Amino acid sequence: MSGESGGHKIEVKRETRDGGVVAHVTYDYARRLNVLHPASLAELTETFLALAKEDDLRVVVFSGAGGKAFIGGADINHMAGMRHPDDGRAFITMVHKLCQSIRDCPVPVICRLEGYTLGAGVEVAAACDIRIAADNAHFGMPEVKVGIPSVVEAALLPRLIGWGRTSWLLLAAENIDAATADRWGFVEQVVPLAKLSAAIDRCVASIVEGTPKAVRGQKRLMRRWERLSIDEAVQAGIDAFAQSVGEGEHIERMAAFVNRKKKV
């Protein structure tokens, strides 16, 4: 599946593995560092909403084309033409809807990061479940330097990297390299560029080893944890565990484990 308009292309490739399908979503506006504009925001959002309806989907890998950037931010040419508050509200709401569609995707979304990830690109990356970066990756939130604040899913950053480091990114607006992003906890893994695909494949394989309902249930529970107190989150986990037992995915897997232990 692929779609193209406004100079960009969105490609979705499906890879069938034992236990389900891995979807590879690639955003290609490489001639402009994969910046996001209204048409591409709408199409990417629709892409993730459509993937969410696929029952055999296990994992999504989200990449930017060209090797120079994951997403180089929001289209500054479009933003420079905004004059009325309603213009700003409409555009930034589209950025939020893309991030929300990723967060609401029922399976894990892995973000492939190489080159530059800036502004709205950082927000999209933060919305993904797992971020794996090449050692040539750089990250930044330059919005205040062009006269606007960093908003929408930038609100996820304090939970990922803490308030002080979020302040550094949003107020000082200085870029950080992959090693710093790793040390700060924004990315889960940094590898040499030549090993990026292999690292992502290992992560995909680990996720697919889990049972489909358990993985989906785990992501759903983790999203609930964000909104609950500790006591409520613990109770939600009890409910999720009980539901999982009722679904019965564990029976065959646990029996195989017990039998293997008996043979040792």
Cα–Cα distance for residue pair 3/12, rounded to 1 Å: 9
pLDDT of 83 > 50? The answer is: yes
DSSP state letter for 31: G
Cα–Cα distance for residue pair 33/38, rounded to 1 Å: 16
pTM: 0.94
Q: Same domain for 132 and 30?
A: yes
* CB within 8 Å of 175: residues ≥ 6 apart: 118, 138, 139, 140, 142
Q: Same domain for 245 and 184?
A: no
Q: Same domain for 47 and 91?
A: yes
Q: Same domain for 14 and 106?
A: yes
Q: Same domain for 7 and 127?
A: yes
Last residue of a domain, one of 166, 191, 209: 209
Local confidence band at 4 (pLDDT 50, 70, 90 cut-offs): very low
* Residue 6: per-residue pLDDT: 65
DSSP state letter for 69: B
Strands (E), the chain: 2-5, 8-17, 20-28, 57-64, 109-113, 116-118, 130-134, 138-140, 176-177, 189-191
Last residue of a domain, one of 209, 229, 255: 209
* Residue 192: per-residue pLDDT: 98
pLDDT tens per residue, range 233-248: 999 999 999 999 999 9
Distance of CA 181 to the CA centre of its chain: 15
Q: Same domain for 105 and 178?
A: yes
3-state secondary structure of 74: strand
Instruction: Report the number of distinct structural domains present in the chain.
Output: 2
Local confidence band at 121 (pLDDT 50, 70, 90 cut-offs): very high
3-state secondary structure of 9: strand
Local confidence band at 18 (pLDDT 50, 70, 90 cut-offs): confident
pLDDT of 41 > 90? The answer is: yes
* Residue 259: per-residue pLDDT: 85
| Range 142-168 average pLDDT | 97
Q: Same domain for 161 and 243?
A: no
pLDDT of 264 > 80? The answer is: no
pLDDT of 1 > 50? The answer is: no
* Residue 2: per-residue pLDDT: 46
Distance of CA 137 to the CA centre of its chain: 16
The share of the chain scoring above pLDDT 70, in percent, equals 96
Task: Return the structure tokens found at 152.
Answer: 């929408």
Q: Same domain for 166 and 238?
A: no
Q: Which domain holds residue 100?
A: 2-209
Which CATH number fits the domain that encloses residue 230?
Answer: 1.10.12
Q: Same domain for 31 and 154?
A: yes
pLDDT of 261 > 90? The answer is: no
* Mean confidence (pLDDT) of the chain: 95
Q: Same domain for 246 and 153?
A: no
Q: Same domain for 245 and 196?
A: no
Q: How far apart are the first and last CA of the chain?
A: 47
Cβ–Cβ < 8 Å for 249, 211: yes
